[in-house]
Amino acid sequence: ENWTTLIAEDTKDVLEWASCVNNDTLVLCYLHDVKNVLYLHRLADGSLIKELPLDIGSIVGFSGKKKQTEIFYQFTSFLTPGVIFHYDLAFQDSAPK
């Protein structure tokens, strides 16, 4: 009765996991074709903030807390060994390092 859909179900992509960070941001990991994609959405209304750039491959690890602005994720592929990226949501114009 009181549920609200913030982000509609995608007809093609599969939601693998979601995490709340920075008190008001959802990190969503989808499987799109043969690769993972990461999206940042506003928790209040579900609007898209940013898509984090990823090559073809998989997210095999993630760390982020609801009350912190930083996230860490581990990316791997057949050509890339596991690499851990850091992204600070306080600086949304920056790229993951």
Q: Amino acid letter at 44?
A: A
pTM: 0.89
Angle at 19 between CA 77 and CA 47, to 5 degrees: 100
Closest CA relative to residue 71, chosen from 53, 56, 84, 57: 84
In a domain, 73, yes or no: yes
Residue 4 resides in a domain: no
User: What is the tens place of the pLDDT at every residue in 37-94?
Assistant: 999 999 999 999 999 989 999 999 999 999 999 999 999 999 888 999 999 998 877 7
Number of domains the chain contains: 1
The answer to whether residue 5 sits within a structural domain is no
Residue 9 lies in a domain: no
